[in-house]
Amino acid sequence: MSIQDDLKRARKRHATNQERAEDARARLKDVDEAIDDTREDLRTLRQRAKDLDHHGPHWEDLRSQVEELEEDLTRFLGRFKEILEHEKDFEEAAHAAHERAEQLRKKLAARDPDARLEGMLEAYGLSEREAKMVTEEASRAHLQPAQALALIAQESGFKNIFGCDHGSQGGRPPYCHEQVTRDRCLALRNCGTTNGVGWTQLTSVDYVDKARALGGEWEIRNQCRVGFELLKGNIDWGGEFKGFGAYNGGRGNPIAAYAESCLALKKQWQARIDNAVH
């Protein structure tokens, strides 16, 4: 079995045991509430039995109820202890699986530069899925990882949000700096106003349509695929400086200040990549 397969299994075990521990904690809460209710009922019945002082037609019945509740309480306490032990076992298993996954990830990273890059991105704050997606889409577009990361950092700071070229409309299109969702993308398109969408801030209707044809402009992977292809085409057309500038102003009006900002970000990302990969 490969290291990748072992890593997937370890991560799956971690997730499974975390879910089991959460379920055990929920059951512990239920049993704890039952224990509290039973104790309260016991206190009430014992007081009533004490008031009767072994006399009256209901005393024997009350004593029987008290005994039943005492048995219930003993059973609940036993169940609580049992679930608590299970919860501890699940937590320990989840921790062990996490540690195993980290060992395998580091072992894989030592052999695979892409894995080291993804590990660096996860440490930066991206999810495992996002880190893998960025490296895959940059490679697919034949774009340098540092170029792709600089573009995202410049456009959105790795936030799946709308742009704010038109100002805030209070929760209505064009959704200034609000979270990108499918419904909002559809509403934005229907209102006839364009706005930057997502990680790569797709604004032109043509590019938004390309992302929609891939499965939706609200999906980060589709935003990156279209944005990376556009940037790579611009770089092939006019070189890196003009290529970045054209992403912002179009090939007829490359924006120099935008290009300078992107290249400064690219330099920062390249240093991080070099440190992680080499």
Domain range list for the chain:
3-111, 118-277
What pLDDT does residue 110 have?
61
Closest CA to 117 of 101, 141, 133, 100: 133
Q: Mean per-residue pLDDT for 208-222?
A: 97
Q: Give yes or no for residue 1 having a pLDDT over 60.
A: no
What pLDDT does residue 172 have?
82
What pLDDT does residue 248 have?
96
Q: Mean per-residue pLDDT for 206-229?
A: 97
Alpha-carbon gap, residue 95 to 85, rounded angstroms? 15
CB–CB of 20/90 below 8 Å?
yes
168 Cβ contact list (under 8 Å, min separation 6): 176, 177
Lowest pLDDT segment from 68-72, 109-113, 216-220:
109-113
Alpha-carbon gap, residue 113 to 167, rounded angstroms? 42
Percent of the chain at pLDDT exceeding 70:
89
Percent of the chain at pLDDT exceeding 90:
47
Closest CA to 134 of 257, 227, 39, 22: 227
Average pLDDT over the chain reads 85
What pLDDT does residue 150 have?
98
- Per-residue pLDDT tens over the stretch 23-75: 878 877 887 787 788 778 777 777 776 766 655 566 667 667 777 777 877 88
- Domain 118-277 part of CATH 3.40.50.1370: no
Lowest pLDDT segment from 28-42, 47-61, 195-209, 256-270:
47-61
Alpha-carbon gap, residue 12 to 219, rounded angstroms? 24
What pLDDT does residue 136 have?
94
For residue 187, give Cα distances in angstroms to 11, 115, 128, 200, 218. 38, 38, 30, 20, 12
Query: Which comes out higher in pLDDT, residue 26 or 159?
Result: 159
- The encoded tokens of residue 247 equal 């992403």
What pLDDT does residue 145 have?
95
Q: Give yes or no for residue 83 having a pLDDT over 90.
A: no
Q: Mean per-residue pLDDT for 115-138?
A: 90
